[in-house]
Amino acid sequence: MKKKVTVYQQKEKPFAKHKYGTSTLGEAGCGVLATINAINYLNGNLIDYKKLASWAGKTHYVHNVGSEHTISKDASYVFGKEYQFKCTEYYVFKNTVGNLYPKSSEDFDLIWNKLISKLKNGEVAVGLVHGHFIAIVDYDSKTKKVLVLDSAAHTSRNTTILGDWKSKKELDYNSSEGSPKLKLRSSLTFLARI
């Protein structure tokens, strides 16, 4: 478990005003930044944001929405060899409310267990919450929390083992704990080193 982690922020230079589709990374680039943060945590490689934004802006940008759900999976095919990562699974849980959130806490248990298994295996995940991509990169077996790197939620680039750790209940759509904006949706892209 790392003591200090860099979290690259959409609203910071050089990302904030960089073109992404018909928008900017600052406004719509959470899929790009979540991928950058996940890979950087995974293996220390920092993907060239200009190359990733240019590619994704042509292939995965949705006007007035942001990025398609498959951005991290497909980025692994284009940039994986250069930055030493691969997609091990694009996981979509089917029993959902409106194709977005798990219907019950029991359904969320299945997603959570899958996530924890992958994190324990040394993989990282890029997931969707309420209209936003986040990187989920580590698991603390003592506290039973996951480390969430959110490119839009921090005031600085650094986080520690004391901050940004979220419990299962904080990410469960059916729970009253945590922020509604951090309720995990039903799809995750799992990434590993190559």
Residue 162 has pLDDT above 80, yes or no: no
pTM: 0.94
From CA 78, how far away is CA 51, in angstroms rounded? Answer: 10
What local confidence, expressed as pLDDT, does residue 160 receive? Answer: 56
The pLDDT confidence band at residue 156, using thresholds 50, 70 and 90, is low
What local confidence, expressed as pLDDT, does residue 194 receive? Answer: 96
- Percent of the chain at pLDDT > 90 equals 81
Residue 53 pairs in a beta bridge with none
What local confidence, expressed as pLDDT, does residue 116 receive? Answer: 98
What local confidence, expressed as pLDDT, does residue 178 receive? Answer: 86
What local confidence, expressed as pLDDT, does residue 159 receive? Answer: 67
Average pLDDT, the chain: 92
Task: Compute how many other C-beta atoms are within 10 angstroms of the C-beta atom of residue 178.
Answer: 15
**In sequence order, what DSSP letters do the residues of 101-137 get, joined into one string?**
EESSHHHHHHHHHHHHHHHHTT-EEEEEETTEEEEEE
Each residue's pLDDT tens digit, 64-123:
899 999 999 999 999 999 999 999 999 999 999 988 999 999 999 999 999 999 999 999
Higher pLDDT, 21 or 163: 21
From CA 148, how far away is CA 166, in angstroms rounded? Answer: 7
**In sequence order, what DSSP letters do the residues of 26-59 get, joined into one string?**
HHH-HHHHHHHHHHHHHHS----HHHHHHHHHHH
